[in-house]
Amino acid sequence: HDKPKVVIVIFGATGDLAKRKLFPSIYRLYQNEKISKEFAVVGLARRPWTNDVFRENVKHSIDDAHATDDDIDSFTSHFYYHSFDATSDASFQELNSLLGDLENTYQTEGNRIFYLAMAPEYFGPIANSLKSFGLKNSAGWSRLVIEKPFGHDLKSANELNNEIREAFDEEQIYRIDHYLGKEMVQNIEVIRFANGLFEHLWNNRFISNIQVTSSEVLGVEDRARYYDHSGATRDMVQNHMLQMVALLAMEPPIKLTTDEIRSEKVKVLRALRQLNTEDIGDYFVRGQYSDGTMDGKQLNGYQQEADTLAGSNTETFVAGKIMIDNYRWAGVPFYIRTGKRMAVKSTKIVVEFKDIPMNLYYTEESKKHPNLLVINIQPEEGITLHLNAKKAGAGSVAQPIQLAYTNKEVDGINTPEAYEKLLHDCMLGDATNFTHWDEVAYSWAFVDAILNAWSSTKAYFPNYPSGSMGPEAADRLLEKDGFHWWPII
Ligand code: BG6
């Protein structure tokens, strides 16, 4: 590939995401020469910043011990700030002429990325103004990147989508799910489809259940307003968790093209067993953290984190059993769990294989040790295979052993950050690791049923202490099926 030439326009440039993820990612792309040296970034927000203030902020967001001041200054000289009011016609006209000027200066051939990293109520109106004020009419391509949340439920997501689609074609829309940019999430497909050892066993004859955990130590932080309106199910399950399930469960695509992979993922999401209100309690568990101590520090319960959270019925934890009613997966539960203020920051997938028909060996604790394939998404990146082997010198006794592969140790460098890869993909026009509207719609339909059932009843919150692995009910969810969560620590 030629190095992409582009002007990146960031709506919401004074926000948290821009600072924590976007600026550092653009810097890495620049440093690793993944983008043309001739590029520009336009930051938009309401605040009346100057280019200099903006560049200072960008500079602070890049924490790279190896970079010299000169290097960072020449990088930030490509950043321009424009004070912007999304409801003002003049703002869009000025932006358009600024882009024209920058395209002249940097010879970026009219390629434009419009990155919406701001309050979702502006997504639709901005997309339409970009069209009506001619910002999409440059000589090159125009792409729209949209952050979450993509709607609040199926209905609002649908409305948002229709609004955006009036201005942009599906091929121009890049809906971000940053989990799809994680190295080991991308590795799920490779591990499955490049290994006969796994793929031949990857079905309901040989797999007993699959467990996907994404736990966080942090609480709601300063996002109470967003989070209390959202909750763990909208924040993590509708997008990240269901995307991982789709990658674990999909059929091999006939080719590794965007459309073929998407269509296999969509088939999984179509096969999710839809839950009735009466059944929700058998399949899903919600939780909210109470106070607790971690590393000797006293932590607040969710309802004490902000005044507005007192009495909140919002879940900060969710665990569920997802059934995929198709030929490959009939009868195999996919258990998921995710939450804030849990014991550890970790995202892991455990694939538990069925027992052999008869076990000839004693094991030490006379416990069964099923074969497990553990895919470590973060913070470790790698896979661990749990097998049984002879215990040395001990007669006919088997003991569990582990074969482990760690990404980081082998490469010796940090794998690229998710946003870095996704931004680069977008510049190259590769939408494989972005979510298509169909995926969004099926995920919302599944999640809506759960949320509707929950919204009509008051939960017994709080029900798990900060620093734990969630409420006991999440353990019972598996126990009643004869399974248990495999420890992820
Ligand atoms: C985001 C959620 O999508 O994912 C956050 O809005 C959550 O609440 C985050 O903390 C987790 O991402 P990661 O990459 O840290 O696992």
Put the strands of the sheet holding 362-363 in their side by side order: 284-287, 317-323, 333-339, 207-215, 346-353, 372-378, 382-390, 397-406, 362-363
Instruction: Note the pLDDT of residue 45.
Output: 97
Nearest CA to ligand 1 atom 10: 216
Q: Calculate how far, in angstroms, residue 334's C-alpha sits from the geometric centre of ligand 1.
A: 21
Helix (H) or strand (E) holding 323: strand 317-323
- Residues framing ligand 1 (Cβ under 6 A): 148, 216, 235, 347
Which member of 240, 386, 424, 436 is catalytic?
240
**pLDDT at 404 (0 to 100):** 96
Q: Binding site residues for NADP(+), as ranges? A: 12-19, 46, 148
Q: By alpha-carbon position, which residue is closest to atom 15 of ligand 1? A: 216
Neighbours of 288 (CB within 10 A): 26
What pLDDT is recorded for position 412? Answer: 44
Of 183, 225, 240, 315, which is best to mutate to test ligand 1, by the most ligand atoms within 8 angstroms of its C-beta?
240
Question: Which of 20, 177, 212, 216 gets mutated to test ligand 1 (max ligand atoms within 8 A of its CB)?
Answer: 216
For the CA atoms of 22, 26, 32, 36, the dihedral, rounded to the nearest 10 degrees, stands at 160
Please list, in sequence order, all residues whose beta carbon lies within 8 angstroms of the beta carbon of residue 14, skipping any fewer than 6 positions away.
Answer: 43, 45, 46, 47, 49, 57
> What's the predicted TM-score (pTM) here?
0.96
Q: Which atom of ligand 1 is nearest to the CA of 218?
A: 10
Residue 218: enclosing H or E segment and its boundaries? none
Which residue has the CA at smallest separation from atom 4 of ligand 1? Answer: 236
**Complex ipTM, two decimals?**
0.99
Annotated binding site: 12-19, 46, 148, 178, 182, 216, 235, 340, 345
Residues 6+ apart with CB under 8 A from 223: none
Cα separation, 421 vs 458, in Å, equals 41
- Helices 69-76 and 23-31, packing angle to 10 deg: 110
CA of 239 to the centre of ligand 1 (A): 10
- Looking at residue 388, its pLDDT comes to 92
Cα–Cα distance, 460 to 313 (Å, whole number): 9
Please, is 372 exposed, middle or buried when counting C-beta atoms within 10 Å of its C-beta (0-12, 13-18, 19+)? middle
Q: What is the predicted pLDDT for the residue at 54?
A: 98
How many CA atoms within 13 Å lie on the side-chain side of 17? 20
Is 240 known to be catalytic? yes
Ligand 1 atom with minimal separation from the 182 CA? 14
Per-residue pLDDT of the chain (489 residues; tens, 9 = 90+): 689 999 999 999 999 999 999 999 999 999 999 999 999 999 999 999 999 999 999 999 997 777 888 999 999 999 999 999 999 999 999 999 999 999 999 999 999 999 999 989 999 999 999 999 999 999 999 999 999 999 999 999 999 999 999 999 999 999 999 999 999 999 999 999 999 999 999 999 999 999 999 999 999 999 999 999 999 999 999 999 999 999 999 999 999 999 999 999 999 999 999 999 999 999 999 999 999 999 999 999 999 999 999 999 999 999 999 999 999 999 999 999 999 999 999 999 999 999 988 878 866 666 778 999 999 999 999 999 999 998 888 788 888 999 999 987 554 455 678 999 999 999 999 999 999 999 999 999 999 999 999 999 999 999 999 999 999 999 999 999 999 999 987
